[in-house]
């Protein structure tokens, strides 16, 4: 199953709605980079509101895709990380430093605009 990636003006919107297995996560990494290349988007918002746990593998895939997007000139904001997910990530020892975060999709888009200087 593939995660849909939507284009909104010069941004890409991704909402992950179900539990990520390893294949889906890797597929998503590939799809997102292709989409950035295709659309020349300079911002990405990934919404994780429906995700109720993230292990170190998925965290690594997410961290990687953020850095890869940065290399391609697109800024990424992660939104809607649940309290339980944040606590487990911190306890695992993953703090995702340098990652932009926002409370929800709306604030994420605002932050992206701010970061892109619009």
Partner 1 sequence: MDIQSCVNIQTEWDIVAARQLGRNVAKELGFGVVDQARITTAISELARNIFIYAHKGRVCIEKMNDKGHAGLRIIAIDSGPGINDIRLAMEDGYSTSGGLGAGLPGVKRLMDEFQIVSSPGKGTEITAIKWIR
Partner 2 sequence: MNSLIINYIDNHKEHILNLWVEKMKEKADDRVLRVVSNQVFVGTSREFVEMVTSNLNDENEEYSERLRDFAEKVVKLGWPISFVTEGIQVFSTIVYDGIKDEKLINEEDEMKLFYGLHKWTNPMTNEIVNVYSTTWERTVSLQKIALQELSAPLIPVFDGISVMPLIGAIDTERAKQIMENLLNGVVKHRSEVVLIDITGVPVVDTMVAHHIIQAADAVRLVGAQCMLVGIRPEIAQTIVSLGINLNQVTTKNTLKKGMEAALEIMKKKMIQVGEISEDSNSKII
Residues that bind partner 1 (CB under 8 A): 19, 21-23, 52-57, 59-60, 63, 82-85, 87-88, 91-94
Nearer to partner 1, 58 or 76 (CB): 58
Q: Which does 57 bind (CB under 5 to 8 A by kind): partner 2, partner 1, none?
A: partner 1
**Residue number with CB closer to partner 1 (6 or 87):** 87
**Binding partner of residue 64 among partner 1, partner 2, none, CB cut-off 5 to 8 Å per kind:** none
Residue 102 interacting with partner 2 (CB under 8 A):
yes
3-class DSSP assignment, residue 24: helix
Q: Which of 53, 1, 55, 60 is CA-nearest to residue 31?
A: 1
Sign of CA pseudo-dihedral 106, 111, 112, 114: positive
With b meaning 16 or more CB within 10 Å and e meaning fewer, what string describes 33-62? bebbeeeebbbbbbbbeebeebeeebbebb
Q: Does 55 bind partner 2 (CB under 8 A)?
A: no
Q: Does 30 bind partner 2 (CB under 8 A)?
A: no
Applying CB under 8 A, which residues contact partner 2? 78-83, 85-87, 89-91, 95-96, 101-104, 107-108
């Amino acid at each position: 199953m593939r995660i849909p990636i939507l284009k909104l003006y010069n941004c890409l919107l991704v909402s992950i709605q179900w539990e990520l297995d390893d294949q889906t996560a890797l597929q998503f990494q590939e799809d997102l980079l292709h989409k950035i290349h295709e659309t020349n988007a300079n911002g990405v918002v990934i919404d994780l509101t429906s995700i109720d746990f993230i292990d170190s593998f998925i965290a690594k895939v997410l961290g990687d895709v953020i850095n890869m997007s940065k290399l391609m000139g697109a800024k990424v904001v992660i939104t809607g990380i649940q309290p339980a997910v944040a606590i487990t990530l911190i306890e695992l020892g993953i703090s995702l430093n340098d990652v932009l975060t926002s409370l929800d999709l709306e604030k994420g888009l605002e932050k992206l605009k701010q970061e892109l200087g619009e």
